[in-house]
Amino acid sequence: MVKSIILAAGKGTRMKSEIPKVLHTIFDKPILGYILDAVKNSGMVDYAYVITGHKSEMVDGYVKENYGYAETILQNPQLGTGHAVSMAVGKLQGYKGEVVIINGDTPLIKPETIKSLVISHRENKSDITVASTILENSSNYGRIVRAADGAVEEIVEEKDASTEQKRIKEINTGIFCINWDKVSRAFSELKNNNAQGEYYLTDIVKWGKENGLKAGAYIIEDSNEVLGINSCKQLAELTKILHDEIIDKHLSNGVNIVSPDTTWISPETEIGRDTIIYPNCYISGQNKIASNCKIGPFAHIRGGVEIDEYVKIGNFVELKKAKVKSHTNICHLSYVGDSEVGANVNIGAGTITANYNPLTKVKSKTIIEDNVKIGSNSVLVAPVRIKEGANVGAVGVITKDIEPWSLAVTRAPLKVLEGWVKRVLNK
């Protein structure tokens, strides 16, 4: 299997944020998570090293909590991309396979592209393969300089490029596949005699030529995949590109999205055909929505949600870590989280599952079995189970299990003071 080195040390000054650039989110998922997932899902990489720098403790925590196949390595001081890769030399001592190197700020990269890069590298028997793409406006990118026979001679950064080299439209994407045992020595021999005074990763191509190694390029056809993020504006632009790709996929698969422009769906969400997504819905995280459902308008699904067929999730309803079985309605202004909801259930407007204890910081589970009816403005205080067929009267506060086919009522008896309004007005 292949190893990967992910460059995630940059501060992201232009983000103008206290949050490290790679931890800014798209659909509530950090940018770095998209790269780590793409690398893993390529089917080629079995372990990744994330090079950290600015606020490394925050990036360390994210990687440790979410990615068991990866570890972080601190780059301090930060002396360029070539220097960043050199931080992993000790970890990869004795390793003789390939290494994929990729920037940590390119969230649109696809697993299939990483796989194709490795395959191309192997088929061409290259020692160094740089992933390139063609841009009509190649300003601010490193240019791929080729020899007459098409071989890659070097990569020249924008600030070091000649006028002629700046006309080149094939640019470096920051993604490489290298034979580690042949190329790792380069990272102790790179020079920093350039405009930035940094050790450039791109200089390994020129170093490889000088040392008799074969360098090639794999051209990525969709240049959107390698767009990087350096500002909040670019973050918004890439989010919109991903949004459009996801919406197009679901429309092509038979999902009825009434208002594509106002509907946001995470890439990890699966939706069955003939489901209708009404306007102004926001769906993040990993979810599975079956066929023939109705979602929204103004619904918020926050991840960990599984919805069976013929379910209605209505306006201003929020779901999180919830399983909802078929033919159930959660129609208005309700929150259902950390819950299991059975089939043929009706949850009235304004119902809340209260699952979090702020003192113990423990989340408990709410279970609502089949054929249950929950009256409007009810609070189900977890851990609690509403058993099959039970009814909860409106304005119920449920703190213990309700037996099957029972009626639970917790509100005070109604008191009517006849003539009270007239007496008040006559004073």
Question: For 209-230, what is the mean pLDDT?
Answer: 95
Average pLDDT over residues 316-323: 98
Q: How far is residue 395's CA from residue 6's CA, in Å, rounded to a whole number?
A: 53
Of the listed ranges 104-113, 189-198, 251-260, the least confidently predicted one is 189-198
Q: Could you give the domains of the chain?
A: 2-226 (3.90.550.10), 232-408 (2.160.10.10)
pLDDT 10s digits, 53-77: 989 999 999 999 999 999 999 999 9
Is there a contact between 288 and 270 (Cβ–Cβ < 8 Å)? Answer: yes
**CA 47, CA 166: separation in Å to the nearest integer?**
36
Query: Which residue, chain included where needed, has tokens 């870590």?
Result: 321
Are 408 and 401 in contact by the 8 Å Cβ rule? The answer is no
Mean pLDDT, rounded, for 303-323: 98
Residue 300 pLDDT > 90, yes or no?
A: yes
Dist. CA 198–CA 365, nearest whole Å: 53
Q: Catalytic residue at 332?
A: yes
For the chain, give the mean pLDDT: 95
**Which residue carries 């770095």 as its tokens?**
32
pLDDT at 20 over 70: yes
Per the DSSP assignment, residues forming a β-bridge with 312 are: 294, 329
Cα distance between residue 28 and residue 31, in whole Å: 9
> Do the beta carbons of residue 379 and residue 352 sit within 8 Å?
yes
Q: State the Cα–Cα distance between residues 257 and 295, nearest whole angstrom.
A: 10
Chain mean position to CA 331: 28
Burial class (CB in 10 A: 0-12, 13-18, 19+), 330: buried
| pLDDT value of residue 427 | 66
pLDDT tens for each residue of 144-190: 999 888 889 889 888 888 999 999 999 999 999 999 999 999 999 99
Burial status of residue 167 (CB atoms within 10 A of its CB: 0-12, 13-18, 19 or more): exposed
- Could you check whether the bond before residue 297 is cis, i.e. omega within 30 degrees of 0? yes
* Structure confidence at residue 11 (pLDDT): 83
7 pLDDT band, cuts 50/70/90, is very high
Determine contact, residues 212/230, Cβ cutoff 8 Å: no
4-23 mean pLDDT:
94
What 3-state DSSP class applies to 172? strand
Mean pLDDT of 9-29: 93
pTM of the model: 0.90
108-128 mean pLDDT: 97
Note the pLDDT of residue 150: 83
pLDDT bin (cut points 50, 70, 90) of residue 270 is very high
Q: DSSP letter at 402?
A: B
Peptide bond before residue 30 is cis, with ω within 30 degrees of 0: no
Q: What is the mean pLDDT of residues 210-238?
A: 95
82 in Cβ contact with 199 (< 8 Å): yes
Sign of CA dihedral 215, 163, 219, 194: positive
Residue at token pair 């960990």:
304
Number of continuous H segments (helices) and E segments (strands) in the chain = 8, 35
Write out the two tokens for 156.
């020249």
Cα 271 to Cα 198, 276, 340, 414, distances in angstroms: 47, 10, 19, 45
First to last CA, the chain: 88
